[in-house]
Amino acid sequence: MRIGSLTPILSAVQRRIFHTMETRTLPQFPLPLVLFPGASQALHIFEPRYRQLVADCQAGDGQFGITPVSDGSGSTPAIGSVGCTAMLRSVVPLPDGRSNIVVAGDTRYAIADYVDADRLYLVAEIVPIEDEGEGDAPELLTLAAELRRQFDGYREVARQLPDSPDLPEPPKEPGALSFAIAGALPLDLRAKVQLLELRSTIDRLRRLREVLEQATELTAAQVRLQKRARRNGRRPLASGGTV
């Protein structure tokens, strides 16, 4: 079995611990992307195995798992890989059997094992994972408020770039806030996987505070370069004006 996960394979001891926890089966759609809880993702379905997966989900509970892999959708995520449950929101069938779908991220999970389900696609046994219970800890609320202010500043800078995506107002609840900002930032796959795997909202907010500061600085530098390029491209006219 070819392994394409960004997460190490679990030890035998860790596997035994997984199997003592409450698990359920979930169809798998490994992709080189991270779906965060609360995020929407559009997908184009063309491979026969994933056409079957979508059809089965439509006939069932409408859920499958998106688990990040580093080398394409043909890879098998390692045991212990963390992914996110995708809820089917819309399916637009195309005449040739392909389809365009939109899914919404729901809850995170870790892959405990694979099962033989006699399907074209992978089916995993998963363990749901949640953040540690940090409640309304003062640091949690302070970090969340600080991150919202930082993200507002980032949005102001980012919207000055041409073709910049519209970044919506993030939710107020700290956990949902952290996932929304993690999904909105232009991070590489490994960085997003690390944020998805964190089990502490406080740790995720701390990490995002650092990342957001860097992203704002880089985006501001891009804006300055583009403004300078536009000024340099204007030619003086004989009358003293510019074009």
Q: How far is CA 22 from CA 62, 112, 183, in A?
A: 21, 10, 28
At 105 the pLDDT is: 98
- What average pLDDT score do residues 55-71 get? 95
Q: Is the pLDDT of residue 25 over 80?
A: yes
Boundaries of every domain in the chain: 12-129, 138-232
Instruction: For residue range 90-129, list pLDDT tens digits in order.
Output: 999 999 999 999 999 999 999 999 999 999 999 999 999 9
Q: Answer whether CATH 2.30.130.40 is correct for domain 12-129.
A: yes
Instruction: For residue range 213-238, list pLDDT tens digits in order.
Output: 999 999 999 889 888 877 776 555 45
* Cα–Cα dist 159/166, whole Å: 7
Contact 101, 42 (CB under 8 A): yes
Q: Is the pLDDT of residue 167 over 80?
A: yes
* Cα–Cα dist 118/56, whole Å: 13
CATH code at 138-232: 1.20.58
Q: Is the pLDDT of residue 155 over 80?
A: yes
